Structures are given as C-alpha cells and as structure tokens.
Amino acid sequence: MSYFRGGAYFRDMFEQALWALKDNRLRTILSILGIAVGITAVMAVGTVGKGGRHLIFNELETFGLKSVWIFRDFVEKDPRRAVRKGTGIDNGDYAAVDAGCCPAVRHVSPVIRDFTYRPSVRYGNQFAKSDLHGVNADYLAINNDNLSSGRPLRVEDEQRHRRVAIIGPEVERDLFGGSRSAVGSEIRIDDQKYLVVGVLAMKDRGFLESIGSAGGERTNSRVLIPYTTYQQMRGNDEVTFLQVETKGLDYTGAAIAQLKGVLKRRYGDQYAYKTISMEQYIETAGRILKGVSVIGAIAASVSLLVGGMAIMNIMSTSVLERTREIGLRKALGARRRDILLQILMEAVLISAIGGIAGIVLGLLASVGLALATGFPVLPSWWLLAVAFAVSISVGLLSGYYPAYRAASMQPVVALRYE
C-alpha cells in the first residue's frame, strides 16, 4: 500500500500544521524562541571554537610548528654534586647535529641568548630595547621568519665573524622612525658597530603574549647577529640552546631522543637537559579549545533541551485540545502514520523556524563579534548545516511522543472526549 502519496499529500499535511500553529500563536513563538536561543548558542560555540583555533594556531606558527628546543636543565637533581658551570652545549654539539647525526632533524640553529644581558642598541642619538640573539643562517627558516627588507644571514657571516645584524621591526621603528631605510646603516650594540643587513617582518603574537605564553621573547624586538660574532664577544664557544626543525610533526619524540643521545655520548651524566617542543603547545592549545567547546556545547545542549521540552509541551497540549479532531480524522480514514506525520510536521515546523532564526541570530552575533574584536573567522557552511540538522532533530525528538500519543488514540474514545 502506498502510504506517502507524493507532494500533494505532504502539502496538505504542511497546511494542516501551519493552521494548527497559527491557532496557538503565543506558545508557538515561545517555543521558536527557545530553539532559536539554543541554535544561536550552537553557532557561537562553533564560531568561537573555529576562530580560536585559527587565532592560536596562526600565532603558534610564528614559533615554527615543528620546532624543538633543547637546553641545559640547571636544577641539579643530585644534591651531593656541585653545580657545574656552563650551558652544557657548545659548537661541537651543534656541529654533530648539523652533520646529520640526528636523522629526525631537518635544520638546526645554535642560539646564544643571555637573559640577564639586554644590551642597548643605538643609532645616532636614538636608543631601542632589544632582545639579542646569536644565530646561524638556518634560524629564519626554522622560525618562519620573513624579511621586510634586506638579506638573510649567510654562512660567510658566521665564518668571518662579521659584525652584521638583522633587526626586528620595533627596533627599526625606534631607531629610524620610518624616516630612512635601516638596511645599510650602522648601528651600535654596546658600542660595537654593526651593519644592518636586514629587517624582520612583523609577527603577531598578541594573543599568546596577552596570556603570558610567548616564552618571554619580544619577537618584534629581536636583533639577530651571527652566533660566532656573539661567541667572540663573550669569549667562549658555548651555545645557550639548540633550536631544531624536525622532519615533521610526527618526528618530535624521535628528534628529542636523538638530541639527548648526542649530548649523552659527549658528556655522559655531567649535565641534565630539558626540551620544549611545539607539539606540547599544540596539544595544550587543543586541550584548552576543547574545554571551551565542551562548556559551550553543554550550554547549547541545555538551551536546546529547554526548547525541545517547550515544543513537547506545546504539542502535547495541542494534541489534547484536538482530541476530537484527531478522532474525527481517524473516523474519516486517517491511519496511524497520517496522524503521526501531521503532528511531527508541526513540531519540526516549529523547530525549523527556530533553527533558521537561531542561525540568523548566530550569524549576526558572529559578524558583530568579528567587527568588534577582530576575531578572524565567520561560521562555515558546515556549521550552518549542523545547526539546522540539530534543530530538525530536536523537533523530531520532542514531537515524537505527542505524535505517538495522538496516533495511538482509539477513534471512539477520541470522539467521545469532552
């Protein structure tokens, strides 16, 4: 037997549903509102989750997503041993890693930094704060750094201990004020003359810096000089830490093991080492985003639950009020499925209207948020589809019980209902 008799039949059902909803205008509007709020919340969760991911990953990328740092752990774990001097890493270790003894490592740069030493940088009578790094030619690539002008450091710069520098955009602004080109100018770092050969492009770590997770580095105030030049100034061949780029995100563990292995072979147990990997940060960021999403999802679920209960309530009341009508329809030949479909269609109509209203509200809210805060991402089509599917599901779930009750009525009982 053909139950669903094509478009005309559905159109009839749809019209019946519309009539019924118009009869209970206030209750219909309230239920629609309930669903709309829930769907708006779903949209907000999706948008914040996606926008947050975009924002955080954009900033994490400024460290190089495949970066691993290894440096000496100065906390001596064995209290009977005196604390040794030195960073525990020198040019020999760098050379070993650079020569390819660690297969999981693609690039490596020695980095010399002195966290207690912030030399003044001067051009004429202009001064700038700086964050001085001694690095090699691969450093820029490892850190996803670009130059806004000039040239990168070259291997000859290292070999000849040249006094050349690449300066960050904030250093350039403070020293040159945008009035003239920094490249080709001579600046003084602690009264030593350096030739500016390049200027770093601006990097945005606003969010990470605002939550104190940028590693204490003022990225746009960096001044990069050849590590050999820095070592000459300090009078030794120590390296503060090695920064490596692994062959891929899956190689982090292998790279750490290989780096530690190299150092262990050279120094035995003389020093302890610590590593930091971007993988850890990516995982932490993922966990935080997931936490935010879960909280948001709970809030959205609660409001959808309330909206669904409102629909169940309005549909139950409406079914009760129309008991005689349902009896009459059954007397005239309506089968269970005809009644079930009609009531379900009413519920889905409410939730679909609520869903569309919620999607519109959610879009407006995220556009507003984007304009107000510069939050980078708008909801995707995928999110819209999910939000709409959720609202339809809520209608189906909450309409099913009232529809089932209506469909199960015996015609004689329904007709006799006062």
Partner 1 sequence: MIALENIAKSYSRGDVAIPVLNGVSLEIDSGQFVAIMGPSGSGKSTLLNIIGCLDRMDSGTYRLDDVDIGSTSDDELAVVRNGKLGFVFQLFSLIPRINARRNVELPLVYAGVAAAERRRRAIAALTRVGLQDRADHTAAQLSGGQQQRVAIARALINEPAVTIADEPTGSLDTATSHDIMHLFTELHRLGKTIVMVTHEPEIAAYAQRVIHLRDGVIERDER
Residues that bind partner 1 (CB under 8 A): 1-2, 5, 8-9, 11-12, 19-20, 23, 324-325, 328-338, 410-412, 415
Residue 258 or 323 having the CB closest to partner 1: 323
Q: Minimum Å distance from CB 28 to partner 1? A: 14
Q: Minimum Å distance from CB 285 to partner 1? A: 56
Residue 274 or 335 having the CB closest to partner 1: 335
Give 187's Cβ-side CA count (13 Å radius).
Answer: 32
Q: List CB contacts of 290: < 8 A, sequence separation 6 or more.
A: none
Q: Minimum Å distance from CB 289 to partner 1? A: 50
Identify the bridge partners of residue 133 per DSSP, sorted by sequence position.
224
Cα separation, 146 vs 143, in Å, equals 9
* DSSP assignment string, 43-77: HHHHHHHHHHHHHHHHHHGGG-TTEEEEEEE-S-S
Q: Minimum Å distance from CB 352 to partner 1? A: 21
Q: Minimum Å distance from CB 333 to partner 1? A: 2
Residue 84 or 335 having the CB closest to partner 1: 335
Q: Minimum Å distance from CB 8 to partner 1? A: 5
Q: Minimum Å distance from CB 328 to partner 1? A: 7
Cβ contact 370:378 at 8 Å: yes
Q: Minimum Å distance from CB 346 to partner 1? A: 13
Residue 6 or 79 having the CB closest to partner 1: 6
Residue 255 or 339 having the CB closest to partner 1: 339
Cα separation, 86 vs 413, in Å, equals 93
> Which residue do the tokens 């940088």 mark?
121
**Considering just the CA atoms, what is the radius of gyration of the chain in Å?**
34
Residue 243, classed as helix, strand or coil, is strand
First to last CA, the chain: 34
Q: Minimum Å distance from CB 359 to partner 1? A: 30
Residue 12 or 156 having the CB closest to partner 1: 12
Cα separation, 382 vs 266, in Å, equals 54
Cα separation, 373 vs 392, in Å, equals 32
> Which residue do the tokens 């530690």 mark?
260
Residue 209 or 325 having the CB closest to partner 1: 325
Cβ contact 355:39 at 8 Å: yes
Residue 17 or 304 having the CB closest to partner 1: 17
DSSP state of 220: G
Cα separation, 81 vs 272, in Å, equals 12
Cα separation, 291 vs 295, in Å, equals 6
Cα separation, 189 vs 163, in Å, equals 10
Cβ contact 36:354 at 8 Å: yes
Q: Minimum Å distance from CB 298 to partner 1? A: 41
Residue 23 or 186 having the CB closest to partner 1: 23
Residue 75 or 332 having the CB closest to partner 1: 332
In angstroms, what CA-CA distances link 161 with 64, 136, 188? 27, 11, 16
